[in-house]
């Protein structure tokens, strides 16, 4: 078989793109760790579609929650999937995850860990929603907690390789 024939028979898989958009001021160093952790989670979950994470303020999340859920309150994270479980067509974009930086910082302070840790936990939670999971009952929370634990482990791995 010639090189040209071999190349024509190889199916090339598109690597999913992870976009991180900051609509508010973001502390230096947060994006690389968030990107590393989420890229690893996406790879582990075999995500083949693009994901966008938007780092915003409380006002943005309040407006989105009012528009899409009819609730006039802020929150820490919202997910906007472009795919429904069972749909055989998986779109090029899996969906968007919107995180409130002020709420994430307040939760990090209350829980005694870094903003970086809180962001990867919230992003993992959002990705779990994009993958079609929900937490209507106590039993449903298991997959969310496991994804969040993985994110914290991946962050520790990233930090150990990037801390002098």
pLDDT tens digits, 28-76: 888 999 999 999 999 999 998 999 999 999 999 999 999 999 999 999 9
Pairwise CA distance, residues 99 & 57, whole Å: 8
Judged against a pLDDT cut of 80, whether residue 160 lies above it is answered with yes
50-56/18-22 β-pairing: parallel
Residues in CB range of 116: below 8 A, 6 or more apart: 29, 30, 33, 34, 155
What is the C-alpha separation between 109 and 116, in angstroms, rounded? Answer: 11
Torsion of CA 29, 46, 128, 114, to 10 degrees: -20
Query: Of the ranges 16-25, 45-54, 154-163, which one carries the lowest mean pLDDT score?
Result: 154-163
- Give per-residue pLDDT as tens, 80-131: 999 877 787 878 899 999 999 999 999 999 999 999 999 999 999 999 999 9
Domains within the chain, CATH numbers bracketed = 16-162 (3.40.390.30)
pLDDT above 70 (res 146): yes
């Amino acid at each position: 078989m010639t090189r040209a024939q071999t190349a024509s028979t190889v199916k090339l898989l598109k690597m999913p793109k992870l976009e991180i958009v900051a609509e508010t001021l973001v502390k230096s160093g947060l994006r690389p760790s968030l990107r590393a952790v989420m890229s690893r989670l996406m790879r582990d979950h075999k995500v083949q579609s693009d994901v966008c994470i938007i780092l915003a303020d409380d006002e943005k999340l309040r407006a989105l929650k009012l528009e899409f859920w009819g609730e006039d309150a802020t929150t820490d994270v919202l997910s906007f999937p472009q795919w429904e479980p069972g749909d055989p067509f998986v779109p090029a974009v899996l969906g968007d995850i919107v995180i409130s930086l002020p709420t994430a910082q307040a939760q990090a302070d209350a829980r005694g860990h870094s903003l970086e840790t809180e962001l990867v936990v919230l992003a993992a939670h959002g990705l779990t929603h994009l993958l079609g999971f929900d937490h209507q009952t106590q039993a449903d929370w298991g997959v969310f907690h496991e994804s969040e634990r993985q994110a914290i482990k991946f962050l520790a791995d990233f930090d150990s390789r990037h801390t002098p």
